[in-house]
Amino acid sequence: MEFARLVLRTALFVVLVHGFFLVGVPIFLLSSSAYLFNYPGGIRFLGGVSILTGLGVYMATILDFVRVGQGTPAVWDSPTVFVTRGPYRWVRNPMYVGMFLILMGEILFFASLLLGIYAGALWLFFNFFVVWYEEPHLRKKFGPAYEAYLKKVPRWIPKFDKMY
Domain ranges for the chain, please list them: 2-152
Residues 6+ apart with CB under 8 A from 162: 89, 90, 152, 153
- The pLDDT assigned to 52 comes to 97
Three-class SS string for 56-67? HHHHHHHHHHHH
- In this structure, how many other beta carbons lie within 10 angstroms of the beta carbon of residue 123? 16
Q: Please tell me the distance from the alpha carbon of residue 7 to that of residue 34, in angstroms, as a whole number.
A: 38
Mean pLDDT value across the chain = 90
**Cα 82 off chain centre by:** 17
Taking only the tens place, the pLDDT of each residue in 2-50 is 888 988 998 899 899 999 999 999 999 888 765 555 667 788 899 999 9
Q: Which CATH architecture has domain 2-152?
A: Up-down Bundle (1.20)
Residue 58 clears pLDDT 90, i.e. is over it: yes
Q: 87 pLDDT exceeds 70? A: yes
User: Do the Cβ atoms of 111 and 37 come closer than 8 Å?
Assistant: yes
